[in-house]
A and B are shown apart, each in its own frame.
Chain A
Amino acid sequence: MPTQKVETKVLVFSWIFQIIAAIILGMAAWDKIVGTETSHYVFTTLEMEPAGRIIIASIESLAAIMLLSTSIPHMGAVLGLGVMMGAIIAHISKLGFDVNNDGGKMVMMMTVVIFSTIAIIFLHRSRFPMGEKDTD
């Protein structure tokens, strides 16, 4: 699949979002790996303790690493946004928005990641397959 070049200006802009999203995702993954009280609470509520916690933590770390690469940050954003979609479903259906009395901090972080990853995907949109045919 031919990948189009992304302009340098756009790339610089994209890096800001990549770093923000990677830091938040990385921190979230870390919390789950060490098993903070909140993460235990979340995954117990979702009945995914402990396997789900580890799986999600792995996906989040992978997404963070990909976001910091030069070649596949857009795929990292897709992965990160995917986890966030799962998070939205969790908050809507099971967790509510004030998790463990954190005053909405978790949901706020989630919103920042969602916004950043959508921005990254948009900035790199030319790198996704669009039925572009090799012309020669």
Chain B
Amino acid sequence: MTFNTFDTLQGSVRINLEKLSKVVNSGIPLTAFFFGILGYSFSFYFHFITVTFIYLTVLNFIYLHVQKRHALLSNYGIVAQMRYMIESIGPELRQYLFSSDTEEKPFSRVERNEVYRKSKGIDSSSAFGSQLLFNENEIKLRHSMFPQSKESLEAFSLCIGEERGLENSYTLKHPLIISAMSYGALGKNAIRALARGAKKAGILMNTGEGGFPKYHLMEDCDLVFQIGTAKFGVRNEDGTLSETKLAEIASFSQVKVIEIKFSQGAKPGKGGLLPKEKITKEISELRGVPMGEDIVSPSYHPECTTPQATVQFIKKVQDISKLPVGIKLCLGLEHEFLTLIQTMKALDIFPDYISIDGAEGGTGAAPKTFMDDLGLPIYKALPKVQNMLIKEGVRDRLKLMCAGKMINSGRQFMALSMGADAIYSARGFLLAIGCIQALQCNKNTCPTGITTHDNHLQAGLDIEDKANRVQNYIQSLDREYIELIAALGKKSLHELNDENLFLEGVY
């Protein structure tokens, strides 16, 4: 009985729509005619309405009988257009009204609000209990029965390049680094806001594979220069490394570290992608590529076809730049990674750090399948890499970093406990400078002016204000770090290890 009612209900809704469209389709020309008569017999002013309905009649006629592309329009006419209109504002409706606070992806409102609050410097507590689902796949941090006193905690400090005894080694004062986002993916105001914020907060920032870091340098923060697979900024005509250009960039006093990008979590096995909508004249010049077509980077470095060649390439970049040199990759085939480590060991050449990018990582533009289905998520990849490094006995030859939705201290602490020495975050900082997760990074239409080159949209992004947000975000995180370290019963971030983790059957 119950599902019968449901059936008739559905049926009646469908019939109503059909009837409605019939009524509307014949009603529109009739209305035009009706007002035509009123206009003729009473007042010419009625013809304003007559003309409007003549227009609607013509439009409806086109929908019903002329256009062939949209079945709904030719079956139902203007009523179906309403459907498209309502559907087109669906994402906004869902985000504003209907999605629950823990539901949105990739970051739920709860998670985003946490970053927004931090970036505005509002310390606040929540009430009643966690809104998350607690299930057997949940990773949790284990606290200690005997917390440390906050006074006894030690400051964080991590020297990149100390293993090689480098003169130009770089000491990180903060475990969080702004992850690679190129000028191109981001607009110039966003880059400058992040860079100025990094300067104020005293953190390191990665330039991304956008070529010469013109806007980063304006703000004078410490930089990691990233060499992408297309080597924008340091490339020869044929796409190989230009030694002179690399030496030139490495000689900037702000450039502290060089990073060679092999792959990225959101699109492992694929090169960078900058859609043509976002390629301005300046970007095409900074990168040395033509306008009007998508910029698709190759999926690998032409120099790096074997483990040996890859390690030699790392050595070459180290020698030319005389700076700490790290590599960034998303873990795929484990035996390949193991061979790479063994080759490093055999040749006694190590990068100064390895950064593991989780498959859940962000991107400005990538094919959906690559985002969804390729590469290992960070909490799976990180323990594997840590174990391989320990097993090969080379864990003390390099630093380990990681990225993948590390926007709040909980996730960051889990990664640190799994063996990471420092954390990269890209989207955490985007949220801090006002990203509302409109998911339009690939279209040059970012409503918050972050991932767009549209001057009008960028005008809303005040560099100084957003730089302060970055600083607040870092300071609020710092306060939380102190609470957390103490609660876990440790003296510093360096002491975190896997005994602090809980995962059913694993830790």
Q: Is the interface of B mostly helix, strand, loop or mixed?
A: helix
Q: Provided the pairs A129-B81, A130-B70 are in contact, do residues A47 and B43 lie with their beta carbons within 8 angstroms?
A: yes
* Among B48, B88, B442, contact of A86 (Cβ-Cβ < 8 Å): B48
A contact residues, range: 20 to 34
Instruction: List B contacts of A134 (CB < 8 A).
Output: 88
| Residue contact A48 to B36, C-beta cutoff 8 Å | no
Question: Are the CB atoms of A89 and B50 closer together than 8 Å?
Answer: yes
Assembled-state Cα–Cα distance A25/B49 (Å): 21
Interface positions, chain A 81-130, Cβ under 8 Å from B, are 82, 85-86, 89-90, 93-94, 129-130
Indicate if the CB atoms of B69 and A89 lie closer than 8 Å: no
B159 shortest CB reach to chain A, Å: 44
- Complex Cα distance, B58 from A78, in Å, reads 12
**Total contacts A-B at CB 8 Å:** 50
Inter-chain contacts of B43 with A (CB < 8 A): 47
Contact present for B44 and A85 (CB under 8 Å): no
A131-B55 contact given A46-B44, A52-B44, A86-B47, CB 8 Å threshold: no
Q: Are A48 and B51 in contact (CB under 8 A)?
A: no
Chain B residues touching A, range: 20 to 34
For B47, B54, B73, the residue with the greatest tally of chain A CB atoms inside 10 Å of its CB is B47
B29-52: CB near A (< 8 Å → 1, else 0) gives 000000010011001110110111
Mark out the residues of chain B between 304 and 331 whose CB falls within 8 Å of any chain A CB in the assembled complex.
none
A125 to chain B, nearest CB (A): 9
Residue in contact with A89 in the complex, picked from B36, B52, B81, CB distance below 8 Å:
B36
Closest chain B CB from A79 CB (angstroms) = 10
Contact A1 B44 (CB under 8 A): no
B40:A93 contact, CB within 8 angstroms = yes
Q: Which chain A residues lie closer than 8 Å to B47 at the CB level?
A: 86, 89-90
CB pair B45–A130 under 8 Å, yes or no, is: no
- Give me the 8 closest cross-chain CB pairs, A-B, nearest first: A131-B84, A131-B70, A46-B44, A85-B51, A131-B73, A82-B51, A86-B47, A86-B51
What are 9 A-B pairs at a CB distance below 8 A? Answer: A46-B44, A52-B44, A78-B55, A86-B48, A94-B44, A130-B70, A131-B81, A132-B84, A136-B442
B residues sitting closer than 8 Å to A (CB atoms) are 36, 39-40, 43-45, 47-48, 50-52, 54-55, 63, 67, 69-70, 72-73, 80-81, 84-85, 87-88, 442
